[in-house]
Amino acid sequence: MSEQVFSLEGIFPPIPTPFNSEGEVALNAIKDNLKYLNQFDLRGIVVLGSNGEFVLLKEEEKLEVLKTARESIPSDRLLIAGVGCQSTDQTIELSRKAANVGADAALVITPSYYRSRMTSEAMSRHYRSIAESSPIPVIIYNMPACTGIDIDADTIAVISKHPNIAGIKDSSGNIIKMGDLRRLTDIHFQILAGSASFFLPALSVGAVGGVMALANIAPGQCLALHNHFLRGEWEQARDLQIRLIPVNTAITRGWGVPALKAAMDVLGLYGGPVRPPLMPLNKEIRDRVEAILREGGIEKIMG
């Protein structure tokens, strides 16, 4: 178990897992996409999050993706690995394997299959057991849109007292709860906004950064929004936040991972196909995504 305290302040793109036309993981595409992202002053990269289609990957594929990403990410930037499984023991095992290939922190989504039994006590025991056994710091991942569970602030506050719990990525969009978390937890517990749609409001109530799909295709704009906030440039921050909402909505709650990958293809990165049972976008929606990118000022990547 690590008691390391490190800063999560900044921007983390949750990278997609690229597949080739045969449905295999395209490791070279990971390297190429990260080469682009490495040009920006990002705090780190999230690998095997929801945008990484982590639930659709075999364990050996997950470890290959993590190994490739670590080799492609500068050593001074964090690699946060999605290791959450339905079982506490499986999550602990994967966190150890992720640490062995160079992950700096473990992102653990709430278990959800036995949803009605995931009481506050069950969640607390799950996360504290993982934190006790993981060789790297643990970040809680609250993603009610996918899990159907929105872990409450009081439960998170209890979990946060473990020294190996570094923070939370909250994708609920509940700004009131985020503010409550800042009130209920110690300063070492760091809050990350889980979407660019509410990044500025989250910062205003104590979030230190964000894990945002939009940062894959608009890292410069996400960084600019954060910098405006840090400098107290409220009007510029507000205007940029508002301008980015339609783009972010299209590649998250609108059409999801298929739209993010389509946007990457349009812009000159490698998005590629999704893995079944996810379906690719039809031409009409792809055209709409391209139009939204244009209207949002998201430019093609040259060279």
Domain boundaries, the chain: 10-233
With H, G, I as helix, E, B as strand and everything else as coil, classify residue 212. coil
- How confident is the model over 123-161, as pLDDT tens digits? 999 999 999 999 999 999 999 999 999 999 999 999 999
Q: Which position among 62, 169, 177, 261 bears the catalytic label?
A: 169
Longest dimension (CA), the chain: 52
Q: What is residue 147's predicted lDDT score, i.e. its pLDDT?
A: 97
Confidence of residue 13 (pLDDT cuts 50, 70, 90): very high
**pLDDT average, residue stretch 229-254:** 95
The Cα-based distances of 149 to 18, 46, 299 in angstroms read 28, 21, 36
**CA–CA separation, 265 and 42 (whole Å):** 22
Top-confidence residue, 6 or 181: 181
pLDDT for residue 2 is more than 50: no
Asked if residue 141 lies in contact with residue 91, where contact means CB atoms within 8 angstroms, the answer is no
Alpha-carbon 27 to chain mean position: 19
Q: What is residue 5's predicted lDDT score, i.e. its pLDDT?
A: 61
3-7, 241-245, 269-273: least confidently modelled range: 3-7
What is the pTM (predicted TM-score) of this model?
0.96
Hey, what are 117's tokens? Answer: 């039994």
Q: Do you know the residue count of the chain?
A: 303
Hey, what are 15's tokens? Answer: 């990278």
The Cα-based distances of 122 to 97, 155, 161, 246, 286 in angstroms read 24, 10, 16, 37, 42
- Nearest-CA neighbor of 14 among 248, 173, 278? 248
Active site residue 161: no
% residues pLDDT > 90 (the chain):
94
pLDDT for residue 235 is more than 80: yes
Confidence of residue 6 (pLDDT cuts 50, 70, 90): confident
Please tell me the class of the 10-233 domain.
alpha beta
Q: What is residue 303's predicted lDDT score, i.e. its pLDDT?
A: 46
